[in-house]
Structure 1
Amino acid sequence: MHITIRQERINDQAEVYEINTLAFGQENEAILVDRLRKSPSFIPELSLVATIDDQPTGHILFSKIYIIDSNRNKVESLALAPMAVKPEFQRQGIGGQLIQAGLNKARELKYASVIVLGHEHYYPKFGFLPAEKWGIHAPYDVPSSFFMALELIPDGLKGVHGMVSYPEEFDGV
């Protein structure tokens, strides 16, 4: 099985919608991707598709977010959300390849950090740690072990603290 990771193309959008719907068993994440594509938070180079024999089987999206401190100072970061793989291709390393490719591209684009709300035993494999380590908090009531951050460059979160502010497109997901 040969997996290729590449930037999403316009003609992938219907298949990306389907991948997210199948992976999550609902349309919320697929709708989120569609909304984010139309927003200023969208970074085309960070919407990646995994293909097997040119057929999209997985998708990952990183979009711009801000960490806002009590003085209303804003620091730009990235949200990893969503990441999806078609059910029949799950547990074969495709998600991990998408994450690694996305993190590498984010570094190349000079981003300093990534935030993820995800499985506490999966994302640490990629270096994610509880965001509370830096005094970074979720705007949602979630266990701190599920809200994680990753420095893409050394000290990428040094001196950064506050509440994550997601784009309005995340509301209702």
Structure 2
Amino acid sequence: MTTLRLRPEGPADAAPIRQVLAAAFARPDARRPPEVGLVEDLRAGDAWLPGLSMVGESGGEIVGYALLSRVRVRPTAVPALALGPVAVAPHRQRIGHGTAVVQAVLDAAREFEEELVVVLGAPAFYRRFGFVPARRFGLTSPWSGLGDPWQALLLTPAGPDGPAVRPGEVLFPAPWGQV
């Protein structure tokens, strides 16, 4: 078995990442999955954070991807991160690559001293990283009505007065509207 090498996205990785996203999110009703455009549009905007786009590479091939981009929590405009998309090439799914790229990008966020990450995804998968329903923090978004899939993770320990997160609405940059 080939080792999975985890590293931040580099300039030459855009096309292989596009291929992983297109394969992982392929649907018969869409010529190009919206997640492909989401990543491309985020790269071109202010929400892009170099070092928080992580790839998993095996045998010289990019097989996994996880992205954290900037969001804000209103009313105070507190900075936070949105996790997604997370993708693994179909021929490499269910062997731990998704877990590895998510853990790597969350570790990078901790190194950058980020405090909060939100995600919309399968609770059974994201719970292993410490995500909990975002309603526990009083965080809302366009996806809050979906219940438990709308999740949050506090990256820094809570202080004596409780979590550093204050309730509010998570505001996503415009590219997220296409997903």
How far the C-alpha of 1:158 sits from its partner, in A, is 2.7
- For 1:131, the aligned partner's letter is A
Q: How many residues align?
A: 170
Partner Cα distance (1:159, 1:44) in 2: 24
> For residue 132 of structure 1, what is the aligned residue in structure 2?
135
Query: What is the percent sequence identity of the aligned residues?
Result: 34
For the residue of structure 2 that corresponds to 1:88, the secondary structure is helix
1:94 corresponds, among 93, 97, 110, to 97
Deviation, structure 1 residue 141: 5.5
The AA in structure 2 aligned to 1:29 is: E
Two-structure CA RMSD over aligned residues (Å): 1.3
Decide whether aligned partners of structure 1 residues 16 and 172 sit closer, same or farther in structure 2, where only a CA change above 3 A counts: same
Residue 12 of structure 1 aligns to a residue whose secondary structure is helix
CA contact (8 A) 1:66 1:77 kept: yes
Q: Determine whether 1:57 maps to 2:58.
A: no
User: SS at the partner of 1:73?
Assistant: coil
Quick one: distance in 1 between partners of 2:17 and 2:53?
10
CA distance in 2, matches of 1:51, 1:73: 38
Q: How does 1:1-173 map to 2 (within 5 A)?
A: 1-25=2-26, 26-68=32-74, 72-140=75-143, 142-155=145-158, 157-173=163-179
Greater shift, 17-26 or 149-158, is seen at 149-158
Higher percent of residues as strand: 1
TM-score scaled by length of structure 1: 0.94
Runs of 5+ in structure 2 lacking a partner? 27-31
SS at match of 1:43: coil
> Normalization by structure 2: what TM-score?
0.91
> Which stretch shows the higher mean deviation, 89-98 or 140-149?
140-149
Question: 1:154 deviation in Å?
Answer: 0.6
In the TM superposition, residue 159 of structure 1 has moved relative to its aligned partner by 4.6
Partner deviation per Cα, 1:47-104 (whole Å, 9 max, x = no partner) = 1110001210111110000111xxx321110000100000000001000000111111
